[in-house]
Amino acid sequence: MTKTTFEGRNVVITGAGSGIGRAAALQAADRGARLLLTDVNAQGLEETVALVTAAHGAVVHHEALDISNEDAVAAFAQRGFDAAGTVDIVMNVAGISTWGRIQDLQPQHWRACVEVDLMGPIHVMSAFVPAMIEAGNGGHVVNVSSAAGLFGLPLHAPYSAAKFGLRGVSEVLRFDLERHGIGVTLVCPGAVDTPLVGTVDIVGVDRSEPAVAATIGKFQRHAVSPESAAASMIRGVEKGRYLVFTSADIRAGWYAQRYAPWIYNAAMRRLNRRATALLTKVQRKQTA
């Protein structure tokens, strides 16, 4: 168990332009961290930098980039090292989401999720973690997976492909990096009311359909805030926890999956039936 403090540490955060990434940046800065921030959304990133600065936090480097671009991440890392000298904590928060039935999904839908949600964090870790090992100062790696990295949620196959993969990488690094004093925390959020909710690509479905909008609204009412999710993540790092849940329902599902699989199986089948019924209703209306 590797407990990590933020005071005086240089912290890389991806996806810092909004949602959990922005909240994590503000909370880490409040704990005395020096931040290196990135996001694909340049405007959102600048807003986060302004918020951190207004709160008297320290941003030592920031730039907008796509983490699926390996060369861009490597260049960001080099400029980050030039600005900060060393990096102590890496927090992979950035991500996208695509849902859909196997018969509706195209190869590009799978690739997009894998490139951003799996290869993106791998690019970031490859760019920063070897230097952390060489520095010999310990540190921490945080990877944000998802409930979809734990459970067989309906229509989530592309997203789950990436998030289960990130979970697997984290499980290996959890032990590989232990000898170097580098902790690993895997965060598995459930419903979080972030901008990602409004950008999920549901292949074959018009999101403006009332039934879809109502379902999304129900999700948002059930969701925790980005600030709450980020606080769970920050506490997990400080306490040296490997697996972090951001809501009680995901923790309950995790235990049900492990210790009461008949409950888990029944719940997944019920969710699948509901999702299938909604999708069928919407698609019939679209083709009518």
Q: Check which CATH number belongs to the domain holding 16 and give it.
A: 3.40.50.720
Number of domains in the chain: 1
In a domain, residue 15? The reply is yes
| Domain region containing 243 | 10-248
Predicted TM-score (pTM) of this structure: 0.92
* Whole-number pLDDT of residue 139: 97
In a domain, residue 205? The reply is yes
CB contact at 8 A, 192 and 139: no
Integer Cα distance of 284 and 287 in angstroms: 5
* Whole-number pLDDT of residue 28: 98
Helix (H, G, I), strand (E, B) or coil at 97: coil
In a domain, residue 147? The reply is yes
In a domain, residue 117? The reply is yes
* Whole-number pLDDT of residue 84: 97
In a domain, residue 272? The reply is no
CB contact at 8 A, 246 and 253: no
β-strand partners of 274: none
Q: What is the dihedral of CA 63, 6, 24, 232, to 10 degrees?
A: 150
Q: How many CB atoms lie within 10 A of CB 3?
A: 11
* Whole-number pLDDT of residue 85: 95
CB contact at 8 A, 6 and 238: yes
Q: Which residue has the tokens 């005071």?
A: 7
In a domain, residue 20? The reply is yes
* Whole-number pLDDT of residue 274: 87
Integer Cα distance of 220 and 230 in angstroms: 17
Q: Mind telling me the catalytic residues?
A: 159
In a domain, residue 102? The reply is yes
* Whole-number pLDDT of residue 215: 61
The segments of the chain whose pLDDT lies below 50 read none
In a domain, residue 104? The reply is yes
Helix (H, G, I), strand (E, B) or coil at 46: helix
CB contact at 8 A, 61 and 84: yes
* Whole-number pLDDT of residue 116: 97
